[in-house]
Amino acid sequence: MTIMVRKRRTDQAGGGESSEPQDSNAGQGAPQHPPQQQGRGAPQVYPQQQQGPGGRGFPQQQQVLGGRGFAPQQQGPGGRGFAPQQGGGYQGRGGYEGGRGGPRGGMASQQYTGESLYQQQGRGAQQQQPRGPLPQHRGGGVAGGGRGGFVPSAGARPSVPELHQASQAPPQAGVSTHPMPRIIPAEVTQSEGSSSVSAVEASSSQVTQQLQHISLKSESSSIGDTQPNPVSSKALRFPLRPGRGSTGSRIVVKANHFFAELPDKDLHQYDVTISPEVGSRGVNRAVMEQLVKLYRESHLGKRLPAYDGRKSLYTAGPLPFVNKEFKIVLTDEDDGSGGARRERDFQVVIKLASRADLHHLEMFLKGSQADAPQEALQVLDIVLRELPTARYSPVGRSFYSADIRQRQPLGEGLESWRGFYQSIRPTQMGLSLNIDMSSTAFIEPLPVIEFASQLLNRDVSSRPLSDADRVKIRKALKGVKVEVLHRGTMRRKYCISGLTSQATRGLTFPVDERGTMKAVVEYFRETYDVILKQTQLPCLEVGNQRRPNYLPMEVCKIVEGQRYSKRLNERQITALLKVTCQRPSDREADILRTVQHNAYADDPYAKEFGIKISDKLASVEARILSPPWLKYHETGRETRCLPQVGQWNMMNKKMVDGGIVNNWMCVNFARNVQDNLASGFCSELAQMCTISGMRFNPNPVLPVTGAHTDQVERVLKSRFQEVQKLKKELDLLIVILPDNNGSLYGDLKRICETDLGIVSQCCLTKHVFKMSKQYLANVALKINVKVGGRNTVLVDALSRRIPLVSDRPTIIFGADVTHPHPGEDSSPSIAAVVASQDWPEITKYAGLVCAQAHRQELIQDLYKSWQDPNRGTVSGGMIKELLISFRRSTGQKPQRIIFYRDGVSEGQFYQVLLYELDAIRKACASLEPNYQPPVTFVVVQKRHHTRLFANNHRDRNSVDRSGNILPGTVVDSKICHPTEFDFYLCSHAGIQGTSRPAHYHVLWDENKFSADGLQSLTNNLCYTYARCTRSVSIVPPAYYAHLAAFRARFYMEPETSDSESMASGAAGGRGGMGVGRSTRAANANAAVRPLPALKENVKRVMFYC
């Protein structure tokens, strides 16, 4: 037996450990994604609109005609630029200036906090919604003077079409954020793939409650043919495929998709109610398994139903009843005690709900119906998951087993299990089953003391645990199941709820109602004849948190098969990647073995429902697009370059637009790097920058400074002040960091970019010692774009030969949202938007970042409006600021918008398009009446499970050195969407493992791209990534947004931690918000702590590279 005690006070959880990413210097030329990082994130400063004369920014709209800029000028008709604005707005190339009275005369700045202020009907929807019918708008156009809409002046043309929401909350603190539907995050495992069946249990009616329809007056733009927005939900359709591409050399590749024959069965859905209700799917499945076992022959018409583990049961044909009640007795498994096993009684009611119509699915696959019938797809998915769910450990859409392949240790008590991902998808070839290999971390089934020793990397019995040790153990073990070892064959299982603050030897508990106390050590000796040896360790608290049972750690062992869902450290990630990294031929063989092992032909559920799965990989027609010619400076020996297999180098070339570094200095935080070595390294780096085409002063403005890692802020500020005393402006800070530097990197970036206004380049000690030319050349590429230069430009861009980009000023956006890691329940999400600032080159990208509600996917700060007491409705937001910046740096307003949006799952397509296209429209409308450049909105997906393999792995002409398909391989047939405009593009050369092609899905296209046009543009842009001389795997604007969002995590205040909770503060400034930490439990309206604003000189360069 165990000991019942009252829960005592335990230690408070502290902040978890984290390891910070280093400045990615790409020593081998490979672009590096920053490791996922807990940390700090930032809202940006947006200029407020001014009505006074002077400057060249956007004004509030005036009742004036004419003008070729974003708004008519106040002075009267005519004019070419932006209407006047106080203080000047953006300054310099692609830059932003802010701060009233600042050294450059910038205008008043407005800080945006990224808070979630929408209050909307139907707030409880699932994150992933079916892409079904959308609601009709209840009401007309935009009311004059409505908050968030442009108010046309008399004499001006009517306002541009607006994506107008039906209801808005009253503004908080004078701010009206762009209204949005609430999105509740799906579990991490659900976002793992982009299956059309993922978490689409919400019905169309729920979407109706969620989304307010795009209702726009159909008003053509003066510069392009923008599509009139749909007047009913049925009119909202993603663009149809504009034919298939034809450019490039044709090849055949294999894809990990297996053709699934559509069943010819009459599918029925039944509602299942189990009483008493239990939260565990496992218990529900056990109840239904017992029911089928007992009553299949007698009461279920010999049918074998498929069950989703919750409320739905599916059959191939009707059951012989419409509504029936069953009584089921579930007996607990034998725990080895020899005593009577516990029995639990359940009442199960099965009631006919509906028929799943496969006819609509067939019509959809043939292209004669627009919307995928999600319910039918879901039924087929559940049927094919029944058998593996019983055989393996299901995690999201994957299944894992310790027996699929030998488990590998990951360190700190974790091990990797091999498994496979499975999802049914509608494609051009019909239904297809997507199968891929996967691995994830499980907790090793160790004795608890051994687990704790591995976790702390020391023998826990050798010395007492510190408070930090106890917190780390508690965080790692909370929620983990253990079994007891002190009762012979009786292995009863418990769930850990906490850890005692006292050691076992000091713990007592009441044995009777009078409060008589007994020591735990004494109780175990008397009751179980167990003499506890590790009495200096705490006890585990198990069971009820109010009255927990105490179990000594030495009598407990972790139960096998528990997935570790918390964050892995860098060493564990590296170990897991080694396990998952397979050459393409090996991965293909493993996938085929998995399909054979799963034996779908013998699967009783697949047989019952008439589903037949092919055992061969799909053969798919593909094309290899040619790489683009790249332009370098005329003073180099090579002025043009044609990449070979996705790679090139800087030999004999000079940057097309070399930056200028007159004043620089170096701070050395590495104890084992002597100042003379640091100085020599900096000289080599300066020389490499000069050779590469920069104007780089070989002499630092101050000598190299050595510093301790715990004095980063003091040292940086004091050295910065010394430079200022010399009346010089620092162009670059070079920092030498220890290889393992904890939070130093993040602290340094936060101080430099949000406090001092310095761009910095960090270099690790190991690279300083090696000092390789390749490394220095890659660092020079990063430094050049950080100080405002360009490394290379597409030849076709300079010669104006890029379709739908070169013919008129075009701005290309990239956007991404990064979410906190699992377990970080109170950290905000970080949104980042970048936009090109040069045309026709489209190479430089300015970026803005903001914090927003926890796990909120829609970018809340794209468009904002607020009430100013003096000027009325004022608007701003990320899109508007970047449009202004483009106009400042190019002298022209964008006449086309291409928007690459990263990180959106298929279930969120409608919501993201409705909300973010609306924001783009409103941002444009706020600049000038009738300013509506045509928009192409493309979602970029990397988190999917489609893999492409060479038809012949031994054919050296069809694979690169890593055995992967060649860069430029594009697929837009067979495995793609039956009717919509999407394609897979493998734009990069593999380095190791199997390349994952990026999936591009066009959600809106007013620019009328051809398949070849968009595929070639996307592929060519992948060769303009600034940080290395390789083509990259996703289009650079999306990549840059990803980098900027991760950088912004470092800007969050250092004192905030997962365990703290702060109340909302008072509103600050015009349009500013008081902020507090939102938590998962709180609603999405909770304000978010604002991030410190980037300094203006940092904003206007690619600081995130």
ω before 276 within 30° of 0 (cis)? yes
Asked if 176 and 168 count as a contact pair (C-beta separation under 8 A), the reply is yes
pLDDT along the chain (1105 residues), means of 10: 43 36 39 40 39 40 41 39 38 35 36 33 37 38 36 36 32 44 36 37 39 36 50 68 96 97 89 92 93 95 94 94 95 60 90 88 88 88 94 93 90 95 95 96 96 94 90 93 85 90 90 85 91 93 80 95 91 92 95 95 94 96 97 96 96 96 96 94 97 96 94 95 94 96 93 96 97 96 97 96 94 96 82 96 95 94 93 93 96 97 94 96 95 98 96 90 96 96 97 96 98 98 97 98 96 52 30 32 60 90 95
Cα separation of 18 and 7, whole Å?
Answer: 30
Contacts of residue 1082, Cβ cutoff 8 Å, sequence gap at least 6: none
**Predicted TM-score of the model (pTM):** 0.78
- C-alpha 311: how far from its chain's center? 30
Which residues does 407 contact at the CB level (< 8 Å), separation at least 6? 415, 416, 417, 418, 442
Angle separating helix axes 374-391 and 358-366, nearest 10 degrees: 110
Rounded Cα–Cα distance for residues 421 and 150 (Å): 48
Nearest to 1011 by CA among 710, 823, 803: 803
Rg (CA), the chain: 31
Beta carbons of 388 and 422 less than 8 angstroms apart: yes
Q: Are 702 and 723 in contact (CB under 8 A)?
A: yes
pLDDT computed for residue 856 by the predictor: 93
Q: Which residues lie closer than 8 Å to 60 by C-beta, 6 or more apart?
A: 49, 51, 871, 872, 874
Q: How far apart are CA 1052 and CA 550, in angstroms?
A: 39
Is 830 within 8 Å of 1045 (Cβ atoms)?
yes
The pair of structure tokens assigned to 859 is 């970018």
- Which residues pair with residue 432 across a beta bridge? 259, 425
* Chain centroid to CA 958: 32
Cα gap 1→984, rounded to integer Å: 59
Closest CA relative to residue 190, chosen from 721, 1051, 819:
819
Read off φ and ψ for residue 230, nearest 5 degrees.
-60, 140
Predicted local confidence at residue 859, as pLDDT: 96
Q: What is the dihedral of CA 237, 130, 902, 914, to 10 degrees?
A: 50
Cβ neighbours for 674, distance < 8 A, ≥ 6 positions apart: none
Sign of the C-alpha dihedral computed for residues 1023, 1029, 1032 and 1037 taken in this order: negative
> Taking the C-alpha atoms of 249, 254, 256 and 261 in order, what is their torsion angle to the nearest 10 degrees?
110
C-alpha span between 188 and 564 (Å, rounded): 12
Cα 317 to the center of its chain, rounded Å: 41
- The two most distant CA atoms of the chain are separated, in Å, by 98
Cβ atoms < 10 Å from Cβ of 807 = 13
Amino acid sitting at position 822: P
Q: How far apart are CA 519 and CA 539, in angstroms?
A: 12
How far apart, in whole angstroms, are the C-alpha atoms of residue 593 and residue 604? 20
Measured over the CA atoms of residue 474, residue 475, residue 478 and residue 480, the dihedral's sign is negative
Strands 618-624 and 969-971: antiparallel
Q: How many CB atoms lie within 10 A of CB 467?
A: 11
Position 1086 scores a pLDDT of: 56
